[in-house]
């Protein structure tokens, strides 16, 4: 069997890779994202001002594309939403977006959802994330979306640990307000940068003594290694799928903006793949879901294996035929795949109970 992706053919792209769901190619084609993505000129060595300018432009482009990908998706009936503003541990305001089913009997599982963007860009208000929260609520959950501070973009410039502090504040607020929310327990979930943040929050919870406030962790295509320049051999997907929708150079830039100078490279609350067994033993049940055609696939699988070795009840999941976050970001193009991922998270949230 020939090597997959760019390991066999350096010119391979999502369009030419036979593993890609063809519906995804059709959805990416109008934006040129079906082709191999070129390296970018701004790097981790560029001046921070230039990095932040590039991140702002990239954020705007992603938000336009993500908005187009949710065009035509039916609204979710029977869901109501509200907003809450809490004061975070750093004294800043943290907006929360709360979605719940109108008629479902409670108490219900509560999912605190942390959006993607490499901890550096995008927003909880983006259409794709608002729709996802409504879908989860339509499946019988209370969902709390967190507008945490980003390291860049419109909600930056706030490097680590600012965004994580906001997420921790929101998780602990939800745990303390279960009766008000009509909820029974808290599960934390997120994709890409949000996958980093939910894993990091669980590590923080153990470190700080409030682990009983988290019943489960669901990390999707997590951005956890900070190895996007060196590309170690055990993370083969960084070469195999490089440039499929996103390339490793952009991941390296996001990592630098989040953790300038890699000052926290050895801190598992910043980069969870650095966790030792002692950081993980005793954590609540986890799911780690990855995308087959994602440069980040193998770091997610490495995180899954590390959790398993530490004795954490962990399920691994590979969504075939999809690039980074494709099962969540493309509800109109691949509705069946998208619905399966929503069901899996919903089922996991319902299956766990408060505390460990």
pLDDT tens-digit readout, 47-78: 999 999 999 999 999 999 999 999 889 999 99
| DSSP category for residue 323 | -
CA 342 – CA 188 distance, rounded (Å)? 14
Does the structure show a pLDDT above 60 at 295?
A: yes
CA 270 – CA 262 distance, rounded (Å)? 10
Q: Where does 177-296 have alpha helices with state H?
A: 178-181, 193-208, 237-240, 248-258, 277-280
Name residues whose C-beta falls within 8 Å of residue 60's C-beta, 6 or more positions apart in sequence: none
β pairing state of 183-191 and 216-220? parallel
Burial 224-254 (b: 16+ CB within 10 A, else e): bbbbbbebeeebbbbbbbbbbbbbbbbbbbb
Mean pLDDT of the region 120-146:
97
Does the structure show a pLDDT above 70 at 356?
A: no
Does the structure show a pLDDT above 90 at 294?
A: yes
CA 336 – CA 205 distance, rounded (Å)? 35
**pLDDT, position 354:** 54
Percent of the chain surpassing pLDDT 90: 95
Other beta carbons within 10 angstroms of residue 39's beta carbon come to 11
**pLDDT, position 103:** 84
CA dihedral 161, 163, 165, 167 (to 10 degrees): -150
- The average confidence (pLDDT) of the chain is 96
pLDDT tens profile 101-129: 998 888 999 999 999 999 999 999 999 99
For CA atoms 264, 269, 273, 274, the dihedral sign is positive
Rounded CA Rg of the chain: 19
For the chain, domains (ranges, CATH) are 5-351 (3.40.50.1820)
Element (H, E) at 298: helix 297-309
Report yes or no: 265 and 271 within 8 Å, Cβ to Cβ: yes
pLDDT tens profile 16-45: 999 999 999 999 999 999 999 988 899 999
Cα 318–chain centre separation: 15
- Beta strand extents in the chain (DSSP E only): 79-87, 93-101, 108-114, 142-146, 183-191, 216-220, 286-291, 314-319
Mean pLDDT of the region 196-207:
98
pLDDT tens profile 202-257: 999 999 999 999 999 999 999 999 999 999 999 999 999 999 999 999 999 999 99
Does the structure show a pLDDT above 60 at 345?
A: yes
The answer to whether the pTM exceeds 0.75 is yes
346 pLDDT tier (thresholds 50, 70, 90): very high
Peptide bond into 161 cis (omega under 30): yes
Does the structure show a pLDDT above 80 at 355?
A: no
Mean pLDDT of the region 293-302:
98
């Amino acid at each position: 069997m020939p090597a997959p992706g760019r390991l066999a053919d350096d010119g391979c792209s999502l369009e030419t890779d036979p593993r890609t769901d063809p519906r995804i190619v059709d959805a990416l084609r109008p934006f040129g994202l079906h082709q191999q993505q070129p390296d970018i000129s701004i790097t981790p060595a560029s001046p921070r001002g230039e990095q932040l300018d590039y991140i702002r432009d990239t954020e705007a482009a992603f938000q336009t594309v993500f908005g187009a990908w949710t065009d035509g998706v039916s609204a979710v009936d029977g869901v109501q939403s509200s907003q809450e503003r809490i004061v975070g541990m750093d004294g800043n305001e943290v907006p929360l977006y709360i979605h719940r089913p109108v008629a479902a009997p409670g108490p219900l599982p509560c999912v605190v959802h942390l959006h993607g963007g490499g901890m550096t860009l995008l927003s909880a208000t983006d259409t794709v994330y608002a729709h996802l929260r409504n879908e989860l609520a339509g499946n019988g959950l209370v969902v709390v979306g967190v507008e945490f501070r980003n390291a860049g973009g419109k909600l930056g410039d706030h490097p680590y640990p600012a965004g994580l502090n906001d997420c921790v504040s929101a998780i602990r607020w939800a745990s303390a307000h279960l009766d008000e929310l009509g909820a029974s327990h808290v599960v934390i979930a997120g994709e890409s940068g949000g996958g980093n943040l939910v894993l990091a929050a669980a590590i923080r919870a153990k470190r700080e003594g409030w682990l009983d406030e988290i019943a489960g962790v669901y990390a999707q295509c997590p951005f956890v290694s900070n190895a996007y320049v060196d590309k170690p051999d055990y993370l083969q997907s960084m070469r195999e799928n490089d440039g499929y929708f996103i390339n490793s150079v952009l991941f390296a830039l996001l990592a630098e903006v989040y953790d300038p100078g890699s000052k926290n490279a050895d801190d598992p609350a910043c980069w969870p793949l650095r966790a030792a067994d002692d950081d993980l033993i005793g954590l609540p049940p986890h799911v780690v879901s990855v995308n087959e055609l994602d440069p980040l696939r193998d770091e997610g699988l490495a995180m899954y294996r590390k959790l398993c070795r530490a004795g954490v009840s962990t399920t691994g999941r590979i969504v075939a035929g999809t690039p980074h976050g494709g099962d969540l970001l493309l509800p109109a193009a691949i509705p069946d795949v998208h619905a399966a991922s929503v069901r899996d998270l919903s089922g996991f949230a319902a299956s766990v109970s408060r505390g460990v």
